[in-house]
Amino acid sequence: MEILDKENLPGHVAIIMDGNGRWAKHRGLPRVVGHRSGMESVREIVKLCAELKIKVLTLYAFSTENWKRPQEEVDALMNLLVEYLHREIEELVQNDVQIRHIGRATELPAPALEAMTVATERTCKNKGLVLNLALNYGGRTEIVDAMREIAVKVKEGELTVSSIDEGTIDKYLYTAGLPDPDLLIRTSGDCRISNFLLWQLAYTEFWLTPVMWPDFRRRHLLTALIEFQQRERRYGEIKG
């Protein structure tokens, strides 16, 4: 059995937490039960990433497309977010985790926005794991928002069109100042990125698993990290 090399860990892990609804359906339970069960997976994975001193963990919690789901499910998801932040905030503070929100904050329900605001403010000076919660997030929306900000800067004379490059765009993304993901994990067996971090995933390694998110635990993440360490990352180059 391969052993995890703690000196060769990805700096940024991103996870599409998929399969909560199907997990519940397979058990004859309401979808919200699956989402609630997935909270324990979040807790365990965040704790492990903090222990391993991984720099950034980005969790795809709620997409811009998820508003199309039944209102009852949307409300349940937002309530679970508030519950998670209220329940876990003290331990997150103790573990030096810094919480950040990526996505359009102003469109969130007031309780969810307040919980996110309090959590980010309470943890903003922490120096350990950066926990990005992608909430009301869409990769295309992120790029649109970045382009709008850049257009304003050009209009105001602070930028010129000829000066815009990849680094400029990076500065106006929700993830500004953070490294791109080294590893993307998607649970539940689907093979798509679902409008997640479209710009940032250019050279990310993918690891897909049929395991549903509520069943995803430390051992699964460790397996993904070990497999990641066995890959050769070429970034378009040819290596001997």
d(CA 142, CA 144): 5
Distance CA 18, CA 85 (A): 20
Q: One of 5, 8, 20, 66 is an active-site residue; which one?
A: 66
Establish whether 66 is a catalytic residue.
yes
Burial of 123 (0-12, 13-18, 19+ CB in 10 A): buried
Identify the H or E element spanning 12.
strand 12-16
Of 5, 8, 18, 132, which one is the catalytic site residue? 18
Q: What share of the chain is helix, strand, coil (3-state, %, to 5)?
A: 50, 15, 40
CA distances from 116 to 57, 99, 131, 158, 166 (A): 16, 8, 12, 31, 29
| Amino acid at residue number 47 | K
Cβ-based neighbours of 65, under 8 Å, separated by 6 or more: 138, 194, 195
Contact partners, residue 212, CB within 8 Å, separation at least 6:
18, 19, 20, 22, 23, 34, 187, 188
User: Going by C-beta distance under 8 Å and a sequence separation of 6 or more, which residues neighbour residue 11?
Assistant: 54, 55, 56, 179, 182
**Could you give phi then psi for residue 203, rounded to 5 degrees?**
-125, 25
- Report the catalytic residues: 18, 66
